[in-house]
Amino acid sequence: MRNARLISRRGFLQLAAAMAGYAALGGCTRSAPATYVPPAIRREIPALKDELRIVTMGDWGQSGDGLPATIRGMDAASKALDGYHGGMFLGDNFYPDGVSSVDDKRWRRYFEEPFDTEQLGSLPWHAILGNHDWRGNVQAQIDYSKRNKRWIMPDHYWRKDFGASGANPLLTVLAIDTDKHYEPWKKQLDWLEGQLRETRQASWPRVVIGHHTLVSYSSHGFTKHMVSEFEPLFSKYEIAAYICGHDHNMQIGEKNGVTYAVLGGGGASLYNVERGPLSKFALKAHGFGVLRVTRKQLSIECRDTSGNVLHTESRAVA
């Protein structure tokens, strides 16, 4: 019996060593998340003065190398830019089937721990829903706002004015739920048009964020209901930009004076992309966007996983 126990122990140790070697070679990269180490310090959100900076991405909550790499790029850019004032998630926040509840382990694995870095650990994230989120408990993502102050999703659609207290906003963001499973669809459309009409004469830019693509030369392309129901509103009320995810890459296009940005390279498996007649930039890569807004200019930067600027699309603020 003694020899049997020794052999068993030896076999166990050999197996453990083999598994460790396999992991070191990358054999477990998709199933084993990086060890979480809380940052020693967390950067305070800078005072909002002359420039607003919002870091933005979609299609991110998945195991693998994409999300950690994108977060490292966000950290690097934050250091170079002297910090962000907020963040925005463009849907498909959790793969493959959203979350089951506010207690789902995906919250810790894909949001709470990965985004708790020195540069991002204090940042509030304004979120919308995507089609993969609709496979789970969508109300749980709204309710989680009450549990974690860094996750902000007040409803399926919402408005946020970004700016210094006591002054006109630098930017208005109108967020919508672009998934056709959302039953109060007409109510949302009426709300959006009302908001666009109300802010039409504003001296600051207005941006709409949603999940589904409108101008895109990739897998999902020109989503039919986005083209028929939303594009007429965007053109009529002269918004500055529509920003989305859904296609897992980075693209910038323009149609009827509106900038269309696809920032779906947050972490999910990438899609092929081409350049089309409306394209200004297109790249199959993980990465993120940074919105930079002053009283004179709005810029959308596409950045890579090292934080480097790949493309900047700018427009004057009226």
204-259 pLDDT, tens digit per residue, is: 999 999 999 999 999 999 999 999 999 999 999 999 999 999 999 999 999 999 99
pTM over the 0.85 mark: yes
Q: What is the mean pLDDT of residues 130-155?
A: 98
Instruction: Please tell me the total count of domains within the chain.
Output: 1
Strands of 279-283's sheet in order across: 158-162, 171-175, 206-209, 241-244, 258-263, 250-255, 279-283
Any domain includes 8:
no
> By the 8 A CB rule, do 207 and 239 touch?
yes
The CATH number of whichever domain residue 59 belongs to comes to 3.60.21.10
166: confidence class by pLDDT, cuts 50, 70, 90: confident
Any domain includes 1:
no
pLDDT at 142: 98
Any domain includes 4:
no
pLDDT at 318: 74
* For residue 14, pLDDT beyond 60: no
263-284 pLDDT, tens digit per residue, is: 999 999 999 999 999 999 999 9
> By the 8 A CB rule, do 252 and 240 touch?
no
Q: How far apart are CA 52 and CA 119, in angstroms?
A: 16
Any domain includes 137:
yes
Any domain includes 130:
yes
SS (H, E, C) the chain: CHHHHHHHHHHHHHHHHHHHHHHHCCCCCCCCCCCCCCCCCCCCCCCCCCCEEEEEECCCCCCCCHHHHHHHHHHHHHHHHCCCCEEEECCCCCCCCCCCCCCCHHHHHHHHCCCCCCCCCCCCEEECCCCCHHHCCHHHHHHHHHCCCCEECCCCCEEEEECCCCCCCCEEEEECCCCCCCCCHHHHHHHHHHHHHHCCCCCCCEEEECCCCCCCCECCCCCHHHHHHHHHHHHHCCCCEEEECCCCCEEEEEECCEEEEEECCCCCCCCCECCCCCEEEEECCCCEEEEEECCCEEEEEEECCCCCEEEEEEEECC
> By the 8 A CB rule, do 215 and 269 touch?
no
pLDDT at 34: 63
Any domain includes 292:
yes
Q: Which domain holds residue 263?
A: 33-316
Any domain includes 243:
yes
Any domain includes 306:
yes
110-126 pLDDT, tens digit per residue, is: 999 999 999 999 999 99
